[in-house]
Structure 1
Amino acid sequence: MKSARPARPAKPVVGITARTVPVTLQGTDMVVSLSLQSHVDFLAAAGCTPVVLPPGPGVEQLVGGLQGLLVPGGPDVDPALYGQERHPRTRGGSPDLDRAELALIGAALEAQLPLLAICRGMQLLNVRCAGTLHQHLPEVTGSDAHRPQGAGFEFGRHVLELRAGSRIAEIFGDDTPKTACHHHQAVDRIGTGLTATARTPDGVVEAVEAVGHPFALGVQWEAGQTEDDRLHRALADAARRS
């Protein structure tokens, strides 16, 4: 009698929170939930099964079926969530999206689930930990270097200053990338339990990490909109370990 084959290890499932946007498809206006394809491709290439999570009420209950979570960029966070009045340059976002993603991030932190939070995602991570944001960065730095003004969608390029011994320094080693930034908001007061591990030369926080968490990393730049997939591979590695 043949012995049973050992089960093949399942690929880790990594959730990507969706963005809900209006589109016109075949002449019909509709609203769709979608993800940046590069997030899907990078995670799949790293050996994960990516799943797109429409950010509705109760979505945080899905954390128990995930081995990792990616929260991507998107609209500005409601400043009422960190105790501020709305700045004239703060774009109106979605309270429902804010609530859903804050709940997801909170559940991921509590469950010690590997988490990669990108751009808006990093800002939400900071707010979830009782931090605050600069609502319009040019008033702090004196320039539009982090969101260049032009005819199209342009990136600001900055060489990072990484904190030695940090997770982000481990991921990039001696080959520090130039960030591809497109943001007018940034971390101000750093949230409880977080630490800043990368900055640009003008002092803007570009990465935060959760102290004591196996892998909870936020980056301010547009990871996923360049060919550099090292952050996604690091999330995939952490998801396999989880």
Structure 2
Amino acid sequence: MKSAQSARPAGGGPARPPVIGITARTVPVTIQGAQMVVSLSLQSHVDFLAAAGCIPVVIPLRPGNEEILGSLQGLLVPGGPDIDPELYGQHRHPTTHGGSPGMDRAELALIGAALAGGLPLLAICRGMQLLNVQCGGTLHQHLPEVTGSDGHRPQGDTFEFGRHALELHEGSHIARIFGDDTPKSACHHHQAVDQVGTGLTVTARAPDGVVEVVEAAGHPFAVGVQWEAGQTEDDRLHRALADAARRL
């Protein structure tokens, strides 16, 4: 990947807004009675980044799309379906329901290029798991078998988040982002980091030991969080990504 380009134009004029790529999710929908497949992004990711002074762009998951990163100042990888366990050397658990292995590989390539190029990266839920797999780590495929409960993905008649107090490591990106006002996580996942990937540091855990945050050592800003950032009103992670993109 070419090195990320500066957001400041030649001639010393005002800096252009940083452009942040959001990897798309591909889902079937019905519009006006017609069934179709679309590539989309959660609107809150778009709104939070725009409010932070960025230009969000949605990146479809196609082979070779990592070449676009040379035109971006940051990358956001959101939540989504389970990852193909063959990509981290395991057989499929009965509860693992992934999307497309080809899309997994395309998204892994984007993450790998962002890491190699020093591009600011925020990886959320599935995104954090992809970051871990890209760095050679593995996943727990069904977390209740590890923790003994459904606390990270509550089961009930209505959708609800699991809430967990976070213990942040002093001096980490995540501790600087939240300071003394650390929220409880808002999570809805049945998989989580098992073996931590090479070059990643765990900087927050839930009380039951589940990894909630990883950061890439030696990278300007590569942070993975396990909870559903973007599905609450807290936009501090998005603003931190925007700040890192501006520093680029």
TM-score, reference length from structure 2: 0.95
Cα offset, 1:78, TM superposition = 0.6
CA, structure 1 residues 127+6, in 2 after alignment: closer, same or farther (shift >3 Å)? closer
Which position in structure 1 is the counterpart of 2:178? Answer: 172
Whole-Å separation in 2 of the counterparts to 1:178 and 1:37: 22
Which position in structure 2 is the counterpart of 1:149? Answer: 155
Residue number among 95, 98, 101 corresponding to 1:92 in the alignment:
98
Which position in structure 1 is the counterpart of 2:32? Answer: 26
Which position in structure 2 is the counterpart of 1:120? Answer: 126
Q: What are the within-5 Å matches in structure 2 for residues 189-200 of structure 1?
A: 189-200=195-206
Residue number among 12, 30, 43 corresponding to 1:37 in the alignment:
43
Which position in structure 2 is the counterpart of 1:108? Answer: 114
Please tell me whether residue 215 in structure 1 is matched to residue 221 in structure 2. Answer: yes
Please tell me whether residue 132 in structure 1 is matched to residue 138 in structure 2. Answer: yes
**1:21 alignment partner, SS class:** strand
Whole-Å separation in 2 of the counterparts to 1:201 and 1:145: 11
Which position in structure 1 is the counterpart of 2:6? Answer: none
Whole-Å separation in 2 of the counterparts to 1:6 and 1:201: 49
Gapped runs of 5+ residues in structure 2?
1-10
CA, structure 1 residues 26+214, in 2 after alignment: closer, same or farther (shift >3 Å)? same
Gapped runs of 5+ residues in structure 1?
none
Cα offset, 1:6, TM superposition = 5.7
Aligned length: 238
Whole-Å separation in 1 of the counterparts to 2:191 and 2:53: 33
Whole-Å separation in 2 of the counterparts to 1:8 and 1:166: 31
Please tell me whether residue 13 in structure 1 is matched to residue 19 in structure 2. Answer: yes
1:40-94 per-residue CA deviation (whole Å, 9 max, x = no partner) reads 0000000000000111111100010000000000000111011100001111321
Amino acid at match of 2:65: V
**1:109 alignment partner, SS class:** helix
**1:148 alignment partner, SS class:** coil
Which position in structure 1 is the counterpart of 2:230? Answer: 224
Which position in structure 2 is the counterpart of 1:241? Answer: 247
Return structure 1 stretches of 4+ with deviation > 3 angstroms. Answer: none
Please tell me whether residue 71 in structure 1 is matched to residue 70 in structure 2. Answer: no
Residue number among 197, 211, 214 corresponding to 1:205 in the alignment:
211
Whole-Å separation in 2 of the counterparts to 1:237 and 1:107: 20
Identity %: 79
